[in-house]
């Protein structure tokens, strides 16, 4: 179960584990945060906070910060793809993870960009661009 949301692409579980979403990069929170960081964090929170999530992994299951790297699903919807599709995240491909899904994620980002969804229509500069 997700007990806290760090930002648009990182959450904490009730097991004590931290999950970093695979294949996505959302604007960084902070003072000041990147354009659309608050919206990405809120969207992520609306999707997962207080909910049971399913995790699926790729080649590497963790990173240098001891976070689990995963595709996260809630109620049958994959959060990673929703973030990109709706313009809350850019694609972040770090091999070997995501090799099989890189084209899928890139197509979602390209459509979000061309249709001005989320940060693509709201930010003069997209930090992950």
pLDDT digits (tens, 9 = 90+) for 21-63: 999 999 999 888 899 999 999 999 999 999 999 999 999 999 9
Residue 129: the pLDDT is 64
- Cβ 75 vs Cβ 26: under 8 Å: no
Structure pTM?
0.95
Active site residues: 20, 28, 67
Q: Is 127 a domain residue?
A: no
What CATH number is associated with residue 27? 2.40.50.90
- Cβ 52 vs Cβ 77: under 8 Å: no
Q: Is 76 a domain residue?
A: yes
Vertex 101: Cα angle to 98 and 104 (nearest 5): 140
Domain count, the chain: 1
Q: Is 129 a domain residue?
A: no
Q: Residue 75 sits in which domain range? A: 2-122
Q: Is 128 a domain residue?
A: no
Vertex 57: Cα angle to 96 and 37 (nearest 5): 85
Q: Is 46 a domain residue?
A: yes
> Which residues are within 8 A (CB) of 118 and not within 5 positions of it... i.e. 6 or more apart?
36, 39, 40, 86, 87, 88, 112
Provide the token pair at 107.
Answer: 């197509």
Question: What span, in angstroms and rounded, lies between the C-alpha atoms of 90 and 101?
Answer: 14
- Cβ 78 vs Cβ 103: under 8 Å: no
Total number of residues shown for the chain = 129
Mean pLDDT (the chain) is: 96
């Amino acid at each position: 179960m997700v007990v806290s949301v760090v930002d648009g692409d990182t959450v904490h579980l009730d097991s004590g584990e931290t999950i970093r979403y695979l294949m996505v990069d959302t604007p960084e929170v902070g003072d000041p945060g990147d354009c659309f960081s608050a919206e990405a964090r809120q969207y992520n929170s609306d999707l997962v906070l207080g909910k049971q999530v399913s995790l699926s992994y790729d080649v590497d299951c963790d990173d240098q910060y001891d976070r689990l790297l995963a595709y996260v699903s809630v109620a049958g919807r994959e959060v990673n793809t929703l973030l990109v599709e709706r313009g809350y995240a850019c694609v972040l491909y770090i091999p070997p993870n995501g090799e099989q899904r890189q084209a899928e994620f890139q197509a979602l980002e390209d459509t979000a960009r061309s249709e001005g969804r989320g940060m693509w229509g709201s930010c003069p500069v997209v930090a992950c661009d």
